Structure 1
């Protein structure tokens, strides 16, 4: 959701290579745990949008730290300058994450990266 994905199809086409049955299972578990909520789209009732709940939003600091750690230690394709900027501005970034998630803002919170290294 940090990358702006809201629908099953967007998650499936994210490039993570996750199978349909695994993605379905994970979304159900996250929903069952109260971390995400599924809402039917108003225009197309067959389409479901997922959003973070307050419980899910409360995970933002943990997710940010994991993201920074992973970007520093693995080749993610995210520029080192971007990683360091994120690390230095944690509180500001977390405030922006929370604000946008609460407004259900679909724009990605992180810059695009290719996942293949820099």
Structure 2
């Protein structure tokens, strides 16, 4: 980590004054940066829950869906801290496995490329 990086975190991200920055240890700066990012993630998660709630009400009031759309169907939330995956429950697969699954679906539905 360079001085420019430390100044970026101290002045820009954490909004410290020069005297505050140079009185702190590097570990304190890292701890504050981690806390900042965690707080930002929680705020974004809360905003996304509100948006999912609002969107589900709009979708349900339109009358275009047979089943009720719940906010949890639209946004699962940030369950990274609870040990879940942070990528929406998606698991990456390699290209060969994808092609195998695609071929199986094409065979099942009698569709040729």
Larger radius of gyration: 2
Name the structure, 1 or 2, with higher relative contact order (CA <8 Å, separation 6+). Answer: 1
User: Between Structure 1 and Structure 2, which shows a larger proportion of helix residues?
Assistant: 2
Q: If the TM-score is normalised by the length of the shorter chain, which range does it land in?
A: under 0.3
Normalised by the length of structure 1, the TM-score is 0.26
User: Between Structure 1 and Structure 2, which shows a larger proportion of strand residues?
Assistant: 1
Normalised by the length of structure 2, the TM-score is 0.27
